[in-house]
Amino acid sequence: MLLEVRDLAVNYSGIQAVRGVSLDIAEGEMVALIGANGAGKSSLINALSGVVRAASGTVTFEGAEIQRMSPWSISARGLIQVPEGRLVFSALSVEENLLLGATAAKGRKAQFGLAEVYDLFPILKERRNQLAGSLSGGQQQMLAIGRGLMSGPRLLLLDEPSLGLAPVIVSQVFRALMELRAQGLTTLLVEQNANLALSVSDRAYMMEQGRIVHQGPSRQMAEDPDIIALYMGQTA
């Protein structure tokens, strides 16, 4: 297993955001993590990245326990997060943002260089000397993904890449994700849009109130009446 999470818990002064989550991700898989607002998806991802400290449990990445490591040493190992809400370096140019991604690649050979990212998102090439903060929301999302790819990810954690994007842009971003999957990149995709996430992933976990309540192959999950019921409102 590339990533093994066991009984992971995350607390914020009083709030138990993640309560004993266990999950596995094998090399080459695209795994979806779905759940409603506040289910604890971002907290789980942030604990994997070391951005928040896990209260208990273990995270094993490529055989090493990483739950006590700093976010910079975790990203240096190739566990790369593309954070929710984009978090690009707004006062730096588009190209500088991408090059900063490459600093996390360290010794690993990155499949993605500037040329490959620009192929994937041609608009970024057009805007490469523009400040990242002046990009549109969708373009910033592409930039955040591009930056993650430049980091030579062994495992890419994508936190709601479709958030706040127009449908056209969402399909553009997801087309890119399909391409990455075909290239064998291992991905954990966090999404509220369950249909979308289940349609591109191999397996999926569903979270509710800090716990994993469903898991299985994505196709099977997509037909599960419970899950359909949960997402009745948003079958776009």
Partner 1 sequence: MIAQQLLNGLIVGGVYALFALGFTLVFGIQKILNLAHGAIFTVGAFVSWYVVSLGLPLLLGILASIVVCGLLSMLVEFVCFSRLRKTGDEEFGAIISSIGAGLVIMTVVQRLSNTRVLRFPFETFPVRIYEFAGLRITLLQLFMVGCAALLVLALYILIYRTSFGRRIRAVTDNERASTLVAINPNATYRQVYFISGALAGVAGVLVGLAFSSIHFAMGEPYLLFAFVIVILGGLGSILGATIAALLFGMMQTLTIAFLPSGLTNTIIFLALFLILMVRPNGLFGKEAAGALRGRR
Adjacent-strand bridge partners of 21? 8
Q: How far is the CB of 9 from ligand ATP (least distance, A)?
A: 12
The answer to whether residue 209 forms part of the interface with ligand ATP (CB under 6 A) is no
Spatial CA neighbour of 5 closest among 220, 205, 151: 205
Helix ranges (DSSP H) in the chain: 41-49, 71-76, 94-103, 114-120, 122-126, 137-150, 167-182, 194-200, 218-223, 225-230
- Cβ atoms of 23 and 81 closer than 8 Å: no
Spatial CA neighbour of 132 closest among 84, 90, 99: 90
Whole-number Å distance between alpha carbons of 87 and 171 = 21
The answer to whether residue 37 forms part of the interface with ligand ATP (CB under 6 A) is yes
Q: Please name the helix (run of DSSP H) or strand (run of DSSP E) that holds residue 221, with its range, or none.
A: helix 218-223
Q: Applying CB under 5 A, which part among 34-42, 60-68, 100-108, 161-169 lies near Mg ion?
A: 34-42
The answer to whether residue 135 forms part of the interface with partner 1 (CB under 8 A) is no
The answer to whether residue 76 forms part of the interface with partner 1 (CB under 8 A) is yes
Q: Applying CB under 6 A, which part among 20-28, 31-39, 93-101, 108-116 lies near ligand ATP?
A: 31-39
Among 42, 43, 49, 201, interactor with partner 1 by CB under 8 A: 49
The answer to whether residue 42 forms part of the interface with ligand ATP (CB under 6 A) is yes
Spatial CA neighbour of 24 closest among 196, 186, 198: 186
The answer to whether residue 17 forms part of the interface with ligand ATP (CB under 6 A) is yes
Indicate the residue among 117 and 198 with the shorter CB distance to ligand ATP: 198
The answer to whether residue 101 forms part of the interface with partner 1 (CB under 8 A) is yes
Q: Applying CB under 8 A, which part among 5-13, 77-85, 200-208, 224-232 lies near partner 1?
A: 77-85
Spatial CA neighbour of 74 closest among 64, 86, 84: 64
Whole-number Å distance between alpha carbons of 36 and 206 = 9
Q: Applying CB under 6 A, which part among 38-46, 72-80, 108-116, 196-204 lies near ligand ATP?
A: 38-46
- Report the interface residues with partner 1, using CB under 8 A: 49-51, 70-73, 75-76, 80-81, 83, 87-92, 96, 99-101, 103-104, 106, 133, 147, 151
